[in-house]
């Protein structure tokens, strides 16, 4: 199964091309270093939209977001009291444990994005995709006061602490920044999974907004790398050899079991 190719897509023809494309535009002449401005998200099916889990689960009913988070905070039992001390921290913790939220998972690592594009062997008859988004440009499109926060802190990505300090709630975040805004922020290091996946999140000023619709309206801010189904086995095997596996990305017995299950699955 193949997906519809749109402008700016790159259809990958080899492992070597994929490795080149994920690092394209990461060289910074002024620093004489490779420093990427891109966030990556790998999907097993290139036809999937960048829909958050709240929209997929609750549909066009934004009022349910408050109730989901309110009850999550009410019933959550955590070893660290501050993990649910604010609505923002509850949002991150809820996303981390599978509650439908407005957040989307991204990674700074192109190889971790490759993992998520190839981990589901049931999708090996389908082309995958890696979204490559310039999160620096996205954040620099922010209105005030968001843009002022970045300039004051002299950074490219927001942190949870920055959002907590200036927006007491998601409703306040939506109200101040207006509809149709998107930003990227780094979560706190809740556990090894967050750290090992080199994670960051995107969030929009609505729980029912779709990020790829917003990205399509921007110029030169993102690219899709289409991974043909014929390449998935090769990419998967090379990632396994590089130790980019569920065993590392999902520390614990569950991740170990998923890795072993896939690793010993015969090639059809």
Domain extent, residue 73, equals: 10-233
Maximum distance among all Cα pairs of the chain, rounded to whole angstroms: 55
Report the distance separating Cα 20 and Cα 24, nearest Å: 6
Neighbours of 205 (CB within 10 A): 19
125 assigned to some structural domain = yes
Q: CA-CA distances (angstroms) from residue 160 to 29, 40, 163, 243, 245?
A: 30, 19, 5, 30, 28
DSSP state of 186: E
101 assigned to some structural domain = yes
In tens digits, what is the pLDDT along the chain, a chain of 268 residues?
A: 567 777 789 999 999 999 999 999 999 999 999 999 999 999 999 999 999 999 999 999 999 999 999 999 888 876 555 777 889 999 999 999 999 999 999 999 999 999 999 999 999 999 999 999 999 999 999 999 999 999 999 999 999 999 999 999 999 999 999 999 999 999 999 899 999 999 999 999 999 999 999 999 998 899 999 999 999 999 999 999 999 999 999 999 999 999 999 999 988 7
242 assigned to some structural domain = no
244 assigned to some structural domain = no
Report the distance separating Cα 11 and Cα 99, nearest Å: 33
2-39 as b/e: b if 16+ CB within 10 A: ebeeeeeebebeeeeebeebbeeeeeeeeeeeeebbbb
132 assigned to some structural domain = yes
Report the distance separating Cα 244 and Cα 253, nearest Å: 16
Please give the helix or strand (H or E) that residue 113 lies within, else none.
helix 110-118
1 assigned to some structural domain = no
pTM: 0.94
240 assigned to some structural domain = no
Number of domains in the chain: 1
Torsion of CA 193, 91, 209, 186, to 10 degrees: -50
39 assigned to some structural domain = yes
* Nearest alpha-carbon partner for 187 in 163, 171, 211: 163
């Amino acid at each position: 199964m193949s997906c519809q190719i749109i402008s700016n897509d790159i259809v990958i023809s080899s492992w070597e091309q994929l490795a080149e494309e994920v690092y394209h535009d990461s060289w910074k002449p002024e620093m004489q270093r490779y420093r990427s401005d891109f966030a990556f998200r790998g999907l097993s099916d290139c036809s999937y939209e960048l829909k958050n889990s709240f929209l997929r689960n609750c549909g066009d009913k934004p009022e349910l977001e408050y109730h989901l988070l309110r009850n999550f905070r009410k019933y959550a039992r955590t070893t660290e009291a501050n993990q649910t001390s604010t609505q923002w921290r509850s949002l991150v913790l809820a996303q981390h444990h599978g509650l439908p939220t407005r957040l989307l998972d991204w990674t700074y690592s192109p190889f971790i994005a490759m993992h998520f594009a190839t981990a589901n062997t049931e999708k090996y008859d389908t082309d995958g995709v890696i979204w490559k988004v310039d999160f620096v440009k996205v954040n620099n499109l922010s209105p005030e006061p968001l843009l002022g926060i970045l300039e004051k802190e002299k950074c490219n990505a927001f942190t949870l602490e920055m959002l907590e300090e200036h927006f007491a709630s998601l409703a306040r975040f939506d109200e101040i920044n207006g509809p149709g805004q998107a930003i990227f922020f780094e979560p706190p290091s809740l556990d090894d999974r967050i750290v090992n996946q080199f994670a960051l999140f995107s969030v929009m000023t609505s729980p029912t907004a779709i990020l790829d619709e917003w990205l399509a309206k921007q110029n030169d801010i993102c690219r899709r790398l289409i991974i043909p189904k014929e390449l998935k086995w090769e990419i998967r095997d090379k990632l396994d050899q590089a130790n980019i596996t569920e065993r590392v990305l999902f520390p614990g017995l569950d991740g170990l079991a998923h890795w072993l299950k896939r690793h010993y699955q015969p090639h059809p």
